[in-house]
A and B are shown apart, each in its own frame.
Chain A
Amino acid sequence: MSAGANTYDVAVVGAGPAGLAAAAITAGADLTTLLLDENPTPGGQIYRAVTTTPLKEQSLLGEDYWAGAALVAETKASGAEIVQGATVWSLDATRELAASWAGTSRFIKVRRVILATGALERPFPIPGWTLPGVMTAGALQTLLKCSGLVPAGRLVLAGTGPLLWLLAAQLLRAGVRIVALLDTAPSANYLRALPHVPTFAVSRYLTKGVALRREVAQHVEVVRGVTRLRAEGQGALASIAFKAGPDERRLAADVLALHQGVVPNVNLAMAAGIAHRWHPVQLCWVPVLDAMGNSGIDGIAIAGDGAGIGGALAAEAQGRLAGLAAVAAVAPERLARLPDRQLLEQALARSMRGRAFLDQLFAPPRWSRLPEGDTIVCRCEEVTAAQLLEAVGMGAMGPNQAKAFLRCGMGPCQGRLCGLTVTELISNTRGVAPAEVGHFRLRPPVKPITLAELAAMAHTQRAVAAVVRE
């Protein structure tokens, strides 16, 4: 990993489907392209460890996963400089990035930036969600893909969203016993999804989704209409309590996988100053972009789930479109040998088909987004819902005031695991729209870095003279 140059035509942040596709396009047009990714191997979360997974039996993870191998190969062959284990911690309007890898930070100046930072799982703040043994569904899937590791004890899955069902199917294929799948999707979701049935019916999701549900329901007790979910235990998960219809139930459990959808990973884009709006259906912040993924800041585009949740195939198409936009800006004469823009736009439209139905069907309920009492909202600083509401009562009008009152959102995760909860709780308490409440003001470094990484940078003599006393 000896990325030497500190200037490139294009920097792409994130090597999931969007970032891989974007870098393949720009590098394929002979633009100097730097692809920075935080993980040890390319693929993002969806194609996590696709080049290194010990699970070679293709049916286990499914064909949609293995499609990622071709994309990784294409990008590696494109000539893009790919750096794994790189954390991008700053980006400004002059398109200067700061990134750390191999123990050193660097500043990198580029003509175009394509952010492909993907998605993260929506916070699921229930009582006991900080107990060891409680993890996200995505975390279990990552352990499966990277290491072939599966839960050995009593496993319960809870929440809503396609990933929960996919994970259940993958674990079943691996021979893992699942005690129960607790479905928290409210029954009203079915009615809200109804108007979107026609487009869903002609999407690729229909047959896949139906087959997946059938596969899971054959082997696992699926409990519908679950509410009042809580994880219980002293220092580790011991049981899960919930309400299903009129019944209170309790299940002994060693591992609980929580999931209620994915949301854009906005930290770097927000810190760069890119405008975001509240998405009233997906219940999260999405960046304000044009049709090619360009943000309001000249030369910075966003592609993939970070631009709004669309899934892997949409991300790949968006990545290629953002790549084309970068080539059009830097070397338009090279566009002729690249894929056709219209075909990509059609592919994007096709892959987005059925998404509106899924958004409604799997929408998370209010109770699992608006915690109460002693339930922890901010895991890092151990701030509870009651403390946050008390701060609002004392005049904390938004997330940034909540920081001053409680340090809420000021721990190492920088609001990634509490930001949406804080916004929605304050919005709900004050009776104003989330857009009016806003999000934490995010600033670089968007991830914690060490002083050693900064000290290890190549410094000018003048900079050294300014701080070193003879």
Chain B
Amino acid sequence: MFRRLLEDAGQRVRVTIDGRPATARAGDSVAAAMLACGLPYCRTTPLSGQKRAPYCMMGVCFECLVTIDGVDNRQGCLIEVSEGMRIDTQLGRRAVE
């Protein structure tokens, strides 16, 4: 759905998305990295399980909520990727472990 204008720009950052290795670029937000990797959605809603993807990319809509390094409900658009980061799509309602 998205492509990079400059294939070589920016340092490569290795992350995992749902356990699979993926490459992002320094300066990418988590939400941008997920879109760049072609992920069709980043969460399903707690109520009906609808698929949702990043919508505003500026921290107001909360559609890009994902699990980052084991912490749920992080705003993917406000957090930059870092080496070794574990990103997981967030399916349905959260629960206390």
Contacts and interface: CB of A to CB of B under 8 A. Distances in A.
Interface of A: 38-40, 45, 49, 52-55, 85, 120-121, 130-136, 138-139, 142-144, 146-153, 174-175, 235-236, 254-255, 265, 379-382, 411-413, 416-417, 448, 450
B65 A412 contact: yes
A369 B54 CA distance: 22
A149 B78 contact: no
Given A134-B55, A147-B27, A152-B2, A416 B61 contact: yes
21 contacts: A55-B5, A120-B56, A130-B55, A132-B51, A135-B57, A139-B57, A143-B57, A144-B5, A147-B25, A148-B4, A148-B5, A149-B4, A150-B5, A151-B1, A152-B2, A236-B40, A412-B62, A412-B65, A416-B60, A417-B60, A417-B61
A189 B85 CA distance: 49
Given A54-B9, A148-B5, A379-B63, A132 B52 contact: yes
B32 A38 contact: no
B22 interface: no
A54 B10 contact: yes
Given A40-B78, A151-B2, A382-B45, A136 B56 contact: yes
Given A143-B32, A153-B1, A85 B55 contact: no
B56 A121 contact: yes
Contacts, number: 133
Interface in B34-91: 35-36, 40-41, 45, 47-48, 50-63, 65, 71, 73, 77-80
Contacts of A144: 5
A384 to B, nearest CB: 11
B12 to A, nearest CB: 13
A152 B1 contact: yes
Contacts of B62: 380, 411-413
Contacts of A381: 47
Contacts of A417: 56, 60-61
Contacts of A175: 5
Interface string B1-33: 111111001100000000000000101110010
For the side of the interface on B, what is the size category? 35 or more
A148 B6 contact: yes
A135 B4 contact: no
A469 B96 CA distance: 23
Contacts of B53: 132-133, 135
A149 B3 contact: yes
A54 B1 contact: no
A159 to B, nearest CB: 14
Contact of B56 (A132, A139, A450): A139
Contacts of A152: 1-3
Nearest to B45: A382
Contact of B55 (A52, A139, A146): A139
Nearest to B50: A130
A45 B56 CA distance: 11
- 7 nearest A-B residue pairs (beta carbon): A132-B53, A54-B9, A139-B57, A412-B62, A152-B3, A142-B57, A148-B5
A416 B56 CA distance: 11
A381 B52 CA distance: 13
Contact of B58 (A52, A142, A450): A142
Contacts of A380: 62
Contact of A255 (B1, B58, B77): B1
- Name the residue among B10, B51, B53, B77 with the largest chain A CB count within 10 angstroms: B53
Contacts of B63: 130, 379
A262 B32 CA distance: 22
Contacts of A136: 55-57
A265 B58 CA distance: 12
A153 B40 CA distance: 13
Contact of B5 (A85, A174, A411, A416): A174
Contacts of B40: 132, 235-236
A121 B57 CA distance: 11
A57 to B, nearest CB: 9
Nearest to A382: B47
B58 A235 contact: no
A315 to B, nearest CB: 16
A182 B63 CA distance: 25
A135 B27 contact: no
- Name the residue among B27, B45, B65, B73 with the largest chain A CB count within 10 angstroms: B27
Contacts of A142: 57-58, 77
Nearest to B25: A147
Contact of A236 (B4, B41, B56): B41
A146 B6 contact: no
B69 to A, nearest CB: 12
B51 A235 contact: yes
A52 B36 contact: no
